[in-house]
Amino acid sequence: MTRERGKSPWLDPNKEGRRSGRQSRRYCSRCGNTVKQFRILRGLNLCEPCVRELEHKRDGQMACKGCGRLAPKEVKEHGGYCLECICPACGRPDPSHIRKTGLCLMCAEGLGEFCRRCGKEAAAQVRKNRGLCNVCAGLGKKKQ
Protein backbone atom coordinates (compact mmCIF):
# COMPACT_ATOMS: atom_id res chain seq x y z
CA MET A 1 0.00 0.00 0.00
CA THR A 2 1.49 3.34 -1.01
CA ARG A 3 1.12 6.27 1.24
CA GLU A 4 1.73 9.97 0.93
CA ARG A 5 4.18 11.69 3.23
CA GLY A 6 2.60 12.71 6.52
CA LYS A 7 -0.71 10.96 5.85
CA SER A 8 -1.67 8.07 8.07
CA PRO A 9 -3.20 4.97 6.45
CA TRP A 10 -5.79 4.94 9.27
CA LEU A 11 -8.94 7.01 9.65
CA ASP A 12 -8.86 8.20 13.25
CA PRO A 13 -12.09 8.21 15.33
CA ASN A 14 -10.98 11.37 17.12
CA LYS A 15 -10.78 13.31 13.86
CA GLU A 16 -13.08 11.85 11.21
CA GLY A 17 -15.76 10.53 13.55
CA ARG A 18 -16.69 13.96 14.88
CA ARG A 19 -17.35 15.71 11.57
CA SER A 20 -20.28 15.23 9.31
CA GLY A 21 -19.81 14.04 5.77
CA ARG A 22 -18.45 11.00 4.02
CA GLN A 23 -15.64 10.26 6.51
CA SER A 24 -18.03 10.07 9.48
CA ARG A 25 -20.06 7.32 7.76
CA ARG A 26 -17.05 5.07 7.07
CA TYR A 27 -17.46 1.50 8.33
CA CYS A 28 -15.57 -1.78 8.28
CA SER A 29 -16.41 -3.89 5.23
CA ARG A 30 -15.98 -7.10 7.22
CA CYS A 31 -17.76 -6.57 10.56
CA GLY A 32 -19.58 -3.24 10.24
CA ASN A 33 -17.80 -1.24 12.98
CA THR A 34 -17.94 2.48 12.25
CA VAL A 35 -15.10 4.98 12.32
CA LYS A 36 -16.54 6.32 15.58
CA GLN A 37 -15.83 2.98 17.30
CA PHE A 38 -12.40 1.98 15.89
CA ARG A 39 -9.75 3.24 13.52
CA ILE A 40 -10.39 2.12 9.96
CA LEU A 41 -7.69 1.33 7.40
CA ARG A 42 -8.22 3.74 4.49
CA GLY A 43 -7.37 1.55 1.52
CA LEU A 44 -9.13 -1.64 2.59
CA ASN A 45 -12.00 -0.33 4.80
CA LEU A 46 -11.13 -2.71 7.63
CA CYS A 47 -11.29 -1.81 11.33
CA GLU A 48 -8.31 -2.32 13.65
CA PRO A 49 -9.59 -5.56 15.31
CA CYS A 50 -10.26 -7.13 11.90
CA VAL A 51 -6.78 -6.18 10.67
CA ARG A 52 -5.17 -7.80 13.73
CA GLU A 53 -7.31 -10.92 13.31
CA LEU A 54 -6.48 -11.28 9.61
CA GLU A 55 -2.75 -10.78 10.22
CA HIS A 56 -2.89 -13.48 12.89
CA LYS A 57 -4.85 -15.92 10.68
CA ARG A 58 -2.56 -15.71 7.63
CA ASP A 59 -5.34 -17.12 5.49
CA GLY A 60 -3.79 -16.52 2.05
CA GLN A 61 -6.79 -14.53 0.81
CA MET A 62 -6.30 -11.15 2.49
CA ALA A 63 -3.09 -11.70 4.49
CA CYS A 64 0.16 -13.34 3.40
CA LYS A 65 0.65 -16.96 4.48
CA GLY A 66 4.31 -16.28 5.29
CA CYS A 67 4.46 -12.99 7.16
CA GLY A 68 0.80 -12.06 7.80
CA ARG A 69 1.03 -8.71 5.98
CA LEU A 70 -2.28 -7.39 4.60
CA ALA A 71 -1.90 -7.08 0.83
CA PRO A 72 -4.96 -8.55 -0.93
CA LYS A 73 -3.84 -7.79 -4.50
CA GLU A 74 -0.34 -9.22 -4.07
CA VAL A 75 -1.66 -12.26 -2.22
CA LYS A 76 -4.18 -12.98 -4.96
CA GLU A 77 -1.55 -12.63 -7.72
CA HIS A 78 1.09 -14.80 -6.05
CA GLY A 79 -0.91 -17.69 -4.63
CA GLY A 80 -1.25 -16.62 -1.01
CA TYR A 81 2.11 -14.83 -0.54
CA CYS A 82 3.09 -11.16 -0.73
CA LEU A 83 6.01 -9.89 -2.83
CA GLU A 84 8.29 -9.76 0.22
CA CYS A 85 7.97 -13.55 0.70
CA ILE A 86 8.54 -14.53 -2.94
CA CYS A 87 12.02 -15.13 -4.38
CA PRO A 88 12.89 -12.39 -6.92
CA ALA A 89 14.95 -14.85 -8.98
CA CYS A 90 12.56 -17.79 -9.46
CA GLY A 91 9.21 -16.68 -8.03
CA ARG A 92 8.82 -19.47 -5.46
CA PRO A 93 7.71 -18.66 -1.90
CA ASP A 94 10.24 -19.25 0.89
CA PRO A 95 9.52 -16.59 3.56
CA SER A 96 12.03 -17.66 6.20
CA HIS A 97 15.07 -17.85 3.92
CA ILE A 98 14.17 -14.79 1.82
CA ARG A 99 14.10 -12.60 4.94
CA LYS A 100 17.68 -13.71 5.75
CA THR A 101 19.38 -13.71 2.34
CA GLY A 102 17.03 -12.12 -0.19
CA LEU A 103 16.74 -15.36 -2.21
CA CYS A 104 15.02 -18.70 -1.64
CA LEU A 105 17.12 -21.62 -0.43
CA MET A 106 17.23 -23.31 -3.85
CA CYS A 107 18.44 -20.17 -5.66
CA ALA A 108 20.94 -19.28 -2.93
CA GLU A 109 22.49 -22.76 -3.11
CA GLY A 110 22.42 -22.77 -6.91
CA LEU A 111 24.02 -19.37 -7.31
CA GLY A 112 26.68 -19.81 -4.71
CA GLU A 113 29.34 -17.24 -5.47
CA PHE A 114 28.51 -16.45 -9.12
CA CYS A 115 26.42 -13.61 -10.59
CA ARG A 116 23.20 -14.94 -12.09
CA ARG A 117 23.34 -12.52 -15.06
CA CYS A 118 26.97 -12.47 -16.21
CA GLY A 119 28.47 -15.43 -14.32
CA LYS A 120 31.28 -13.44 -12.70
CA GLU A 121 32.62 -14.83 -9.40
CA ALA A 122 31.99 -12.24 -6.67
CA ALA A 123 30.80 -13.88 -3.44
CA ALA A 124 30.26 -10.81 -1.25
CA GLN A 125 28.62 -8.77 -4.03
CA VAL A 126 26.29 -11.63 -4.94
CA ARG A 127 25.13 -12.03 -1.33
CA LYS A 128 24.61 -8.29 -0.96
CA ASN A 129 22.80 -7.67 -4.28
CA ARG A 130 20.50 -10.70 -4.33
CA GLY A 131 22.40 -12.74 -6.87
CA LEU A 132 23.96 -9.96 -8.97
CA CYS A 133 27.46 -8.49 -9.03
CA ASN A 134 27.86 -4.72 -8.62
CA VAL A 135 28.17 -4.12 -12.38
CA CYS A 136 24.96 -6.01 -13.23
CA ALA A 137 23.12 -4.39 -10.33
CA GLY A 138 24.15 -0.97 -11.64
CA LEU A 139 26.11 -0.03 -8.52
CA GLY A 140 29.67 -0.23 -9.84
CA LYS A 141 31.52 1.44 -12.70
CA LYS A 142 30.94 -0.21 -16.05
CA LYS A 143 33.85 -0.92 -18.37
CA GLN A 144 33.93 1.30 -21.45
pLDDT truncated to tens, each residue of the chain (144 aa)?
Answer: 555 566 777 777 766 656 666 666 778 888 888 888 888 888 888 888 888 888 888 887 888 888 888 888 888 898 889 999 998 888 889 888 888 777 787 887 776 677 777 767 788 888 888 878 899 888 766 554
Residues 71 and 46 in one domain: no
- 40 domain-assigned: yes
Residues 77 and 65 in one domain: yes
- CA 32 to chain CA centroid, Å, is 26
- 143 domain-assigned: no
Distance CA 72, CA 7 (A): 21
Residues 98 and 70 in one domain: no
Residues 64 and 51 in one domain: no
Residues in the chain: 144
Distance CA 108, CA 112 (A): 6
- 67 domain-assigned: yes
- 1 domain-assigned: no
Q: What is the identity of the amino acid at 37?
A: Q
pTM: 0.58
- 41 domain-assigned: yes
Residues 30 and 72 in one domain: no
- 2 domain-assigned: no
Inter-CA distances, 87 with 45, 76, 84, 138, Å:
30, 16, 8, 20
User: Residue 83: how many CB atoms within 10 A of its CB?
Assistant: 13
- 22 domain-assigned: yes
Range of the domain at 76: 58-84
pLDDT of residue 144: 45
How many domains does the structure of the chain reveal?
A: 3
Distance CA 96, CA 126 (A): 19
Distance CA 14, CA 88 (A): 41
Residues 22 and 39 in one domain: yes
Residues 79 and 93 in one domain: no
Residues 101 and 112 in one domain: yes
Distance CA 130, CA 107 (A): 10
- 106 domain-assigned: yes
Residues 104 and 122 in one domain: yes
The strand pairing partners of 122, in sequence order, are none
Residues 51 and 63 in one domain: no
Residues 62 and 77 in one domain: yes
Q: Is 9 exposed, middle or buried (0-12, 13-18, 19+ CB in 10 A)?
A: middle
- DSSP secondary structure code for residue 40 in this structure: E
